[in-house]
Copies of this chain bind each other. A is one copy, B any other.
Amino acid sequence: MRIIVDGFGGDNAPLEVLKGCVSAVDGLGVDITVVGDQDKINACAKENNIDLSKISLRHADGVMEVCYEPNKILKEYSGTSMAVGLKMLADGEGDAFLSAGSTGALLVGATFIVKRIKGIKRAALATVIPTANSAGALLLDCGANADCRPEMLAQFGVMGSAYMRSFMDLKAPKVALANIGAEPSKGRELELESYKLLQSAPIDFIGNIEGRDIPLGGADVVVADGFTGNLILKTIEGMGKFFGLGIKDIISGSLGTKLGALLLKQKIIDFKKKTDYSEHGGAPLLGTCAPVIKAHGSSDAKAFYNAIRQAKLCVENDLVGKITAGLEELKSSAEV
**Could you tell me which A residues sit within 8 Å of B by CB distance?**
130-132, 143, 146-147, 178, 180, 187-189, 210-216, 224, 226-228, 230-243, 245-246, 249-251, 253, 256-257, 259-264, 267-268, 271, 274-275
Q: Which residue of B lies closest to A187 (CB)?
A: B146
A241 contacts B215, CB within 8 Å?
yes
Alpha-carbon distance between A213 and B236 when the two chains are bound, in angstroms: 10
Question: Nearest Cβ distance between residue A249 and chain B, in whole angstroms?
Answer: 7
A210 contacts B188, CB within 8 Å?
no
Question: Nearest Cβ distance between residue A259 and chain B, in whole angstroms?
Answer: 6
Question: Nearest Cβ distance between residue A288 and chain B, in whole angstroms?
Answer: 21
B188 contacts A227, CB within 8 Å?
yes
B211 contacts A238, CB within 8 Å?
yes
A147 contacts B188, CB within 8 Å?
yes
Alpha-carbon distance between A256 and B178 when the two chains are bound, in angstroms: 41
What DSSP secondary structure best describes chain A's contact surface?
helix
Alpha-carbon distance between A271 and B250 when the two chains are bound, in angstroms: 8
Alpha-carbon distance between A104 and B212 when the two chains are bound, in angstroms: 18
Alpha-carbon distance between A237 and B211 when the two chains are bound, in angstroms: 8
Alpha-carbon distance between A211 and B268 when the two chains are bound, in angstroms: 25
Alpha-carbon distance between A147 and B190 when the two chains are bound, in angstroms: 11
Residues of B within 8 A of A264 (CB): 250-251, 257, 260-261, 264
Alpha-carbon distance between A264 and B262 when the two chains are bound, in angstroms: 11
29 A/B residue pairs, CB under 8 Å, sorted by A: A132-B245, A146-B187, A147-B189, A180-B230, A180-B231, A211-B230, A211-B231, A211-B235, A211-B237, A212-B234, A213-B238, A215-B239, A215-B242, A216-B242, A228-B231, A231-B232, A235-B236, A235-B239, A246-B274, A250-B264, A250-B267, A256-B263, A257-B263, A259-B260, A259-B263, A260-B262, A260-B264, A263-B263, A264-B264
Among B189, B224, B235, the residue within 8 A (CB) of A214 is B235
Question: Nearest Cβ distance between residue A271 and chain B, in whole angstroms?
Answer: 5
